[in-house]
Structure 1
């Protein structure tokens, strides 16, 4: 078996193949040793493989002397909030592959504060898992059956429900949202049991779709907002919200059924917070992918954009220690430290609903006031490790330098990186000239494809 490695969002792979019950069991044992003396809380999304992986994880932790509690289906931010608020918790694990297709699953480890653990902790856990697997750890059936029941999770899930209601009461304290009609797409994922009630707590009239009657992320949710857009347009609601599989982010659709760019959502919230004079509203934290056009418009309003590497964990780290502030990334991860320690798709949706209620204007009009620089984002599917090899190839790095210099001379920029969650090479090009941006992206993609084909 190949060595187990954490990516951008935990350990991830195809369930039963590159991600097995044995790996989950070994992680449970590793966590019991690394976080001794406390309770390990486990949650999951709705994938069929989730229950077995959760049971194996709990069995490993319990066999090594820990007390593991399986909360059942709960969003990643829900488990994060419960871990952060539970005095006996030592850590948490979410069994989820987020936005990936149903055949994938993952193991995302959260520290005592509810945030993803640091890189150094992940490296230590990797070594411990590899050592356990090398010793031939197996998930014996009697050990798996000894895993804790999900019954213990009911009270913990109720805590998260109460937190969402309290957030709605703070974000939308008056009755302005009562005039709004909202459609939420829960992606048949972890947010399905919570979504409608959470958003309705704002006072809005909320309808739901993909509430657990289908396959997670299958032509629904934040990765497929077209389904939501069509329903929004047909039903005449004011806006649509699409969660991803573990409900830690959301996509926003306007009243015309059009997807609102994630960077525009970030800017709308940042400008709204600045207008209301909220603490730390003179700065917003976003990633290197955030559109430069947004950066200029925020600067004109007196708001500094602080950039981080890609990944909501880096945004959370930049906001750590602040009780106020705001950050987000284009993919829909939005962080509000006053509400939660991590990004939460439902809390983000509550804030968007409250913003629209205050604005008293169609969302399409609000978004149109924030034009973006032309930007192209593309991916190439690669084999495991190929992206890193390509990025170290002098022939490819030479092309990258040439394209970077050419586009940069006109005020543009590029970004080429491996995906942290899937076997993909990601290419981004951006600048004021749409034709130049498209040409830059095509040249990078062509060079990558050519070099990869020679290796096969």
Structure 2
């Protein structure tokens, strides 16, 4: 996987993320984008991250700037600290991809980099970046993790999760200790589970069947009301109900938006369409897949109405808050970057408030179910070429989707999304940040959605591998 850069950051094999390359991208970012008064630096728990972070900090200091060493902490905690201080930030993480790969995420003082920032950074790569005569300083972060936890405790209260027994699948998530501290501070009993010294790539949109079985076993054996976890850098949540059944991220997003009183939803085209049938929401804006597109849609909504109660979320569960929301005991300030903790806490609080088990709350939603998985180790170009052929050639499309009558709707907002006369949906898309081809499906039952994904993943493997 040759290093690849976009608005989601830089990703590549660790062996190819050389000191020279990391320095070049860091200096290009510093040259192209505003920094405020300093640059915050954090990292995840994969083995290569601390060394890459040292290279990033050295590059910041060589540019004559102040580096704030935040250490290992969640991406949303880093963003909360840097945006609150009006500073830039760099997170060393490969997110959910395997440990042999890593990357950088860049934040300007007001949030994630946008497409124009991406272009400016690319334009400054490969230049002879000078080393300043006076080396910049380095200072430690100041209680960043504690401030991140307090954001939710102050809004939901110390009794918000009282009486709940919650498993924390710790694995190698950088938020594994923060999750325990946070839910205990809100009154829950935390049960830490399966802490790992080795990095485990957790993709919240593609949890392996054996992991699902483990989650169900924990709930039964430990008498749990839920199990929570995140991906590697903790900008995507994972949450089960009391039976160990995983609740998809776009369901968590809808439940969180409803509890917070949001009226405008910005979400990718791949997200569950159940929100179209939920009367609590005034409008839904569908975007291309990726937080930069969700953020852009949120920005447009706020430009039209600065008082708009707008939120964004993705099927991976990352939640973005665009307005000052009111929790049970306090306010929650906007945070327009993917967060894991809000869409974990809010749905659990909503179920407790409704006096029902979490599965009961989910069962009350419109009956639309999604599933997703991917074919790994297939080049983006190969995936895109095949999907483009299906989009352009009705004969090829009919042959590939032979189980269905011709699609009633073809959506090419991002990949190829087909809505069939049955109301079922199949969506194919090349991944934007990994050598994968993703498949999404939506149907009236979870079993049918899973069956559609399994069937078309098998067909994709035949075509692409």
Normalised by the size of structure 2, how large is the TM-score? 0.79
1:184 corresponds in structure 2 to: 168
- Alpha-carbon distance between aligned partners in 1 of 2:357 and 2:245, rounded to the nearest angstrom: 12
Give deviations 1:340-359, integer Å, cap 9, x for gaps. 23222123222233223212
Give deviations 1:105-154, integer Å, cap 9, x for gaps. 111111111x220112112212322x24xx7x99x9xx9xx9976xx334
- Alpha-carbon distance between aligned partners in 2 of 1:388 and 1:336, rounded to the nearest angstrom: 32
Distance change >3 Å, CA 302–CA 243, structure 1 → 2 = closer
2:345 maps to 1:350: yes
Name the Cα RMSD after superposition.
Answer: 3.4
- Alpha-carbon distance between aligned partners in 1 of 2:227 and 2:49, rounded to the nearest angstrom: 28
Q: Which has the higher strand share?
A: 2
Give deviations 1:229-283, integer Å, cap 9, x for gaps. 432221112111111111112111111111123233233334434xxxx3xx333
Q: Which has the higher helix share?
A: 1
Q: Is the 8 A contact 1:221 1:242 kept in 2?
A: no
Candidates 6, 31, 34, aligned match of 2:32: 34
Candidates 96, 104, 113, aligned match of 1:117: 113
- Alpha-carbon distance between aligned partners in 2 of 1:348 and 1:240, rounded to the nearest angstrom: 13
- Alpha-carbon distance between aligned partners in 2 of 1:440 and 1:259, rounded to the nearest angstrom: 16
Q: Is the 8 A contact 1:161 1:198 kept in 2?
A: no
2:140 corresponds in structure 1 to: 153
1:423 corresponds in structure 2 to: 435
- Alpha-carbon distance between aligned partners in 1 of 2:45 and 2:316, rounded to the nearest angstrom: 21
2:198 corresponds in structure 1 to: 215
2:316 maps to 1:331: yes
Candidates 386, 389, 396, aligned match of 2:385: 389
Could you tell me which runs of 5 or more consecutive residues in structure 2 were left unpaired when the two chains were aligned.
Answer: 325-331, 409-418
Alignment of 1:231-380 (within 5 A): 231-273=218-260, 278=261, 281-292=262-273, 294-299=274-279, 301=280, 303-320=282-299, 321=302, 324-337=309-322, 338=324, 339=332, 340-370=335-365, 372-373=367-368, 375=370, 377-380=372-375
How far did residue 73 of structure 1 move? Answer: 0.5
1:15 corresponds in structure 2 to: 14
- Alpha-carbon distance between aligned partners in 2 of 1:255 and 1:383, rounded to the nearest angstrom: 38
Farther-moved stretch of structure 1 (27-36 vs 100-109)? 27-36
Could you tell me which runs of 5 or more consecutive residues in structure 1 were left unpaired when the two chains were aligned.
Answer: none
Q: Is the 8 A contact 1:44 1:74 kept in 2?
A: yes
2:78 maps to 1:99: no
- Alpha-carbon distance between aligned partners in 2 of 1:56 and 1:270, rounded to the nearest angstrom: 39
Farther-moved stretch of structure 1 (319-328 vs 187-196)? 319-328
Distance change >3 Å, CA 175–CA 193, structure 1 → 2 = closer
For 1:31, what is the secondary structure of its paired residue?
A: helix
- Alpha-carbon distance between aligned partners in 1 of 2:56 and 2:453, rounded to the nearest angstrom: 46
Give deviations 1:56-106, integer Å, cap 9, x for gaps. 12222322333323321011001111111114x2x2111001111222211
1:66 corresponds in structure 2 to: 65
- Alpha-carbon distance between aligned partners in 2 of 1:357 and 1:436, rounded to the nearest angstrom: 28
Paired residues, number: 424
Give deviations 1:277-300, integer Å, cap 9, x for gaps. x3xx333322211222x134314x
For 1:164, what is the secondary structure of its paired residue?
A: helix
- Alpha-carbon distance between aligned partners in 2 of 1:216 and 1:444, rounded to the nearest angstrom: 26
Farther-moved stretch of structure 1 (94-103 vs 308-317)? 308-317
Q: Is the 8 A contact 2:351 2:358 kept in 1?
A: yes
